[in-house]
């Protein structure tokens, strides 16, 4: 049985994820995400090609420009990230969002250490396999040479 989400459920899930995860991450990174509207103009000759490339909400906003009869305009949603100190907001978090912010801090502190340990372990395993395979190939070669009585 396939699990599918309706569009309202998807919107609710996206809103929950933004409020509980992405908003906390942006607070931790001291940035503020803004959405703005920007009006764009397109010439009549390239309209058909451009309409296919735009999302459905842009197709709904096509309108004739009042200044020129050959130009069309549409409204585009633009996301902007602004650097702002959000320490007070981060300290005011409670519940799940507070624990997620603590997890972000812990991972920020521990990731360099974990990467270094992982790199040392992978280097040790690599050295072990190279030595083991090299010695086993050497022993096989020595056994073949001795069985054929080569010098």
- For residue 100, give the nearest of 28, 33, 29, 31 by alpha carbon: 28
Q: Judge contact between 27 and 60, C-beta under 8 A.
A: no
Q: Is the whole-model pTM more than 0.75?
A: no
Whether 117 has a pLDDT exceeding 80, the answer reads yes
Whether 114 has a pLDDT exceeding 90, the answer reads yes
Residue with more model confidence, 101 or 112: 112
| Alpha-carbon span 30 to 24, nearest angstrom | 10
Q: What are 36-62's pLDDT values in tens digits?
A: 888 877 765 554 555 555 555 555 555
pLDDT at residue number 139 = 83
Share above pLDDT 90 across residues of the chain, in percent, rounded to a whole number: 9
Whether 65 has a pLDDT exceeding 50, the answer reads no
* End-to-end CA, the chain: 69
């Amino acid at each position: 049985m396939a699990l599918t989400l309706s569009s309202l459920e998807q919107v609710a899930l996206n809103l929950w994820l933004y409020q509980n995860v992405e908003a906390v991450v942006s607070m931790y990174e001291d940035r503020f995400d803004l959405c703005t509207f920007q009006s764009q103009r397109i010439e009549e000759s390239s309209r058909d090609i451009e309409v296919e490339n735009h999302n459905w909400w842009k197709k709904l906003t096509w309108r004739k420009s009042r200044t020129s009869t050959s130009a069309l305009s549409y409204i585009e949603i633009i996301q902007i990230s602004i650097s702002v100190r959000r320490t007070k907001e981060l300290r005011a978090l409670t519940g799940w969002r507070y624990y997620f912010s603590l997890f972000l801090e812990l991972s920020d502190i521990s990731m360099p250490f974990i990467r270094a340990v992982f790199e040392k372990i992978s280097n040790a395993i690599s050295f072990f396999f190279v030595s083991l395979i090299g010695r086993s190939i050497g022993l096989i070669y020595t056994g073949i040479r001795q069985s054929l009585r080569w010098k």
